[in-house]
Amino acid sequence: MTLHTTLVSVDELAALAAEGVLIVDCRTDLADRSKSEQAYREGHIPGAVYASLEDDLSDLSRIPQGLGRHPLPMESAFSALLSRWGWQPGMQVVAYDSAGGALAAARLWWMLRLIGVRDVAVLDGGYQAWLAAGRPVETKVQERAASNVSVHYDPAQVLFEYDASDRSGALLIDARANPRFRGDIEPLDPVAGHVPGARNRPYGDNLDEQGRFKSAATLREEFRSILGDSTADRVVHMCGSGVTACHNLLAMEHAGLHGARLYAPSWSGWVSNRSRPVAKGD
């Protein structure tokens, strides 16, 4: 079976044997959390389980620790989640959402990469692409046979601290929209602006007009223009809370630019300490 490690098309997903794939519905409504799981119950890709960004892919109890608005769950909690879904090593995972992979689907993709899993992909075009292709949906809440796995995060792939004064090290890329990066507006966090020295690559720039990822060649060219002389393994991605930055990680990986990391607390974690410097403008 062909392993899908970044993106999977609707046709490719439909062709996968049901017993060999774990499909995860990651649709998220940040404005109204109750609508996220409601959308799953009203209709989802057959066989899909549901993942909540806030309850499954984050641990909001850790926010006071300065880890951002969507802190990573503990390894034990992520292990329990994967066990509940019946995941086992070697199983193909496909995550999807309704925003071109911009929210929790890319987050789940990255979290699985963080534990060493490579056979995980995001559905290109998301749930809308599945519907547009006339593929079937179901309303049945999936109950899969549980497994028993224990996973551990790879510390080489994630940063919880970042030194903005060390310009000889990492190249920080911020995935937020340009007005937030510039500090013109800040709808979610108490301070507007960006980490000094960061460069801006809004995650939406990874998608074409149909809401699908641009070609690997196009993405590679666009990211190369941002990286300049830097290599991909020097890149550290961030955003507001460590979620949409995963979209840039996914785009770089799809483009063949390997080794980038995530600054998990991101902007919300950075400004939790008011003594840290803040830059504005481009």
Burial class of 254 by CB neighbour count within 10 A (0 to 12, 13 to 18, 19+): buried
Nearest Cα residue to 245 out of 157, 144, 182: 157
Show the 3-state SS of 56-78. Answer: CCCCHHHHHHCCCCCCCCCHHHH
Distance of CA 86 to the CA centre of its chain: 21
Strand-pairing partners, residue 22, are 93
Selecting among 121, 238, 239, 251, the annotated active-site residue is 239
Q: Is 239 a catalytic residue?
A: yes
Neighbours of 1 (CB within 10 A): 11
Distance linking the first and last C-alpha atoms of the chain: 46
- Identify residue 55 by its one-letter amino acid code: D
How wide is the angle at C-alpha 230 spanned by C-alphas 227 and 236, nearest 5°?
A: 75
Nearest Cα residue to 78 out of 47, 106, 102, 113: 113
Residue pair 178/240 in contact (Cβ under 8 Å)? The answer is: no
Nearest Cα residue to 138 out of 130, 148, 129: 130
As a whole number of angstroms, the distance between CA 184 and CA 109 comes to 31
As a whole number of angstroms, the distance between CA 44 and CA 97 comes to 10
The catalytic site residues sit at 239
